[in-house]
């Protein structure tokens, strides 16, 4: 952390002098971000599963209707 200098007017933000990058040292905010990202991923997976199940139901209904019409 010798290469880090505080960014003026902010808390937990530092500039890495060797790369010029801005680095956040707020571990709590990072943990919250990771938790939210994982929750969104689970929600997206659930939506994908529901869509796949719905498509399977539609396919079965079409097959059933096709057999009734023959």
**Nearest in space to 17 (alpha carbons), one of 4, 7, 32, 27:** 4
Percent of the chain having pLDDT more than 90?
A: 91
Residue pLDDT, tens place only, 8-42: 999 999 999 999 999 999 999 999 999 999 999 99
**Strand ranges in 1-70 using DSSP code E only, listed in sequence order:** 4-6, 13-16, 22-24
Handedness of CA 34, 21, 15, 17 (dihedral sign): positive
**Phi, psi values for residue 23, rounded to 5°:** -120, 135
């Amino acid at each position: 952390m010798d290469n880090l200098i505080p960014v003026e007017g902010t808390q937990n933000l530092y500039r890495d002098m060797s790369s010029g990058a801005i680095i956040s040292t707020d571990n709590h905010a990072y943990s919250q971000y990771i938790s939210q990202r994982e929750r969104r991923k689970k929600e997206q997976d659930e939506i994908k599963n529901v869509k796949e199940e719905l498509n399977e139901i539609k396919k079965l209904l079409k097959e059933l209707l096709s057999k009734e019409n023959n």
